[in-house]
Amino acid sequence: MLFRNVAELVELAESKQVKIAEIMIQQEIEVTGLSREEIIAKMDRNLTVMEQAVERGLNGVTSVSGLTGGDAVLLQKYIQSGKALSGNILLDAVSKAVATNEVNAAMGTICATPTAGSAGVVPGTLFAVKEVLNPTRMEMIEFLFTSAAFGFVVANNASISGAAGGCQAEVGSASGMAAASIVELAGGTPRQAAEAMAITLKNMLGLVCDPVAGLVEVPCVKRNAMGASNAMTAADMALAGITSRIPCDEVIHAMFLIGQSMPSALRETAEGGLAATPTGRRLEAEIFGKKN
């Protein structure tokens, strides 16, 4: 294994004077025994799945439960109205993140990044910044390898599971992964990518996992929207030269400890938080009443 944490990852990229994406590709070659071409081809397929999910979501989908669907379309119409306050690129990222998660909720095919419940943030931000940065196909694939490098560190040093660490471990991790990748795609340094990850994750610490009716829909879809906007903002901050006072690896460890201390009612059990509200319980009864 080439690296175990973000500090080692950044050090490797700096010493070899390559992108973080390249370090992740080299690690995959070493760990899997596959050729460079095979590894890149596999990631290319993931990118295709992401493209198709975004496209399907932007055309409008509705979940079986009826809890989610159509919000990505509403956002695109709002952007086109010219009245958007947040800025078109940020809202485009939000819309495409929502589109992906609406497809997941509608039982469509997505690429878990790092999980199905947080699958919208990385592609949402990638396909939004694509409109501005005009990356090549290979640069878009590298974006995913950069995300994978940071996701690998989180998975091995903390958690990417809502059941283990709350939504901070899912959407929080996805947002940090996306922020780091945006920075690298925009020409930032490996260290700036790590700063973006740290800034993002710091601002999602403690986020609970409380799915209404136990379904990956409410509030999951909108959390991907917020995760995408968080990632975009943190990436801009890092590219501006802003740093995190707490190093990235320490932020990841803090997330792990917070997840460990989080009560089970707030870790994907649908026993607390929004799932336990009167409306949450009513929706649960309606949905499962329908199914029975």
Q: Average pLDDT for residues 62-81, to the nearest whole number?
A: 98
pLDDT band at 1 (very low <50, low <70, confident <90, very high): confident
Say if 24 falls within a structural domain: yes
User: At residue 40, does pLDDT exceed 80?
Assistant: yes
Check residue 292 and give its pLDDT.
45
Model-level pTM greater than 0.85?
Answer: yes
User: At residue 195, does pLDDT exceed 50?
Assistant: yes
Say if 249 falls within a structural domain: yes
CA distances from 200 to 165, 175, 177, 227, 231 (A): 17, 7, 9, 9, 6
Say if 275 falls within a structural domain: yes
Check residue 291 and give its pLDDT.
54
User: At residue 286, does pLDDT exceed 80?
Assistant: yes
Measured distance CA(213)–CA(193) in Å, rounded: 37
CATH of the domain at 18: 1.10.4100
pLDDT tens-place string over residues 221-271:
999 999 999 999 999 999 999 999 999 999 999 999 999 999 999 999 999
pLDDT band at 142 (very low <50, low <70, confident <90, very high): very high
Check residue 230 and give its pLDDT.
98
Residue among 15, 43, 21 at smallest CA distance from 149: 21
Say if 1 falls within a structural domain: no
Q: Average pLDDT for residues 148-171, to the nearest whole number?
A: 97
Q: Residue 15 belongs to what domain range?
A: 6-291
Structural domain total, the chain: 1
Measured distance CA(242)–CA(265) in Å, rounded: 36
